[in-house]
């Protein structure tokens, strides 16, 4: 039995220095699953189990989430070889998922920084986005979206901080930030 597909998949970018880029993509993923679509999310430079990875496991097989990274921050200007290998492993999978067209929505979480700092070849990524099946919607998240990604996108949302509780000393909280 075939399922209904999007007539035209678009490219969405969530970028900027404000909180909420991944959260916005996850909200879209929940909406898509609720409408019978299949979702695949690849998280770059994130390396621990989170609330979203646990939720994706509960929504399987309609939603799949794979994360590629180690706990802690990646030195983007001089990445550890292990971090670079994980980013490239994630990108290899993401390319396959995009090309296969088995998923209606593909989320490439934190890919923008990986592109900006050349951890993933930018032209290769742009070509993969252009060559994906026409029904595949793609979301790219992360700070500093490259201008070429912004130009290719159909929708760009920039999150900007106005006020954040981190400034008052509130630490990252289970179930809210992770």
Taking only the tens place, the pLDDT of each residue in 123-147 is 999 999 999 999 999 999 999 999 9
124 token code pair: 């290769």
What per-residue confidence (pLDDT) applies to 4?
85
Q: What is the pLDDT of residues 19-39, one digit of tens each?
A: 999 999 999 999 999 999 999
Q: Which residue has the tokens 């949302």?
A: 157
Q: Domain coordinates of the chain in residue numbers? A: 11-168
pLDDT band of residue 75 (cuts 50, 70, 90) is: very high
Given a cut of 80, whether residue 2 has pLDDT beyond it is: no
Indicate the burial class of 74 (C-beta count within 10 angstroms; 0-12, 13-18, 19 or more): buried
Helix (H) or strand (E) holding 96: helix 81-100
Indicate the average pLDDT of the chain.
95
CATH number of 11-168: 3.40.50.300
Give the C-alpha separation, 90 to 138, whole Å: 15
In tens, the pLDDT along 145-176 reads 999 999 999 999 999 999 999 889 999 898 88
Q: Provide CB contacts within 8 A for 28, sequence distance 6+.
A: 12, 105, 107, 139
Between 174 and 60, the more confident residue is 60
What's the pLDDT tens digit per position in 87-134? Answer: 999 999 999 999 999 999 999 999 999 999 999 999 999 999 999 999
pTM of the predicted protein model: 0.95
The DSSP 8-state label assigned to residue 131 in this structure reads H
pLDDT at 1 over 60: no
């Amino acid at each position: 039995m075939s399922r209904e597909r999007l007539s035209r998949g678009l490219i969405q970018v969530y970028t900027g220095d404000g909180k909420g880029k991944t959260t916005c993509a996850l909200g879209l993923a929940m909406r898509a699953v609720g409408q019978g679509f299949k979702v695949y999310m690849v998280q770059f430079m994130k390396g621990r189990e989170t609330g979203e990875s646990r939720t994706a496991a509960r929504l399987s097989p309609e939603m799949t989430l794979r994360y590629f990274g180690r706990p802690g921050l990646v030195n983007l200007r001089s990445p550890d070889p292990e971090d670079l290998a994980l980013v490239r492993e994630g990108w290899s999978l993401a390319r396959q998922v995009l090309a296969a067209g088995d998923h209606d929505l593909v989320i490439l979480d934190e890919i923008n920084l990986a592109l900006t700092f050349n951890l993933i070849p930018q032209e290769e990524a742009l070509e993969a986005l252009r060559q994906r099946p026409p029904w595949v919607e793609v979301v790219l998240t992360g700070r500093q979206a490259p201008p070429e990604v912004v130009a290719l996108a159909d929708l760009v949302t920039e999150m900007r901080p106005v006020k954040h509780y981190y400034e008052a000393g509130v630490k990252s909280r289970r179930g809210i930030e992770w």
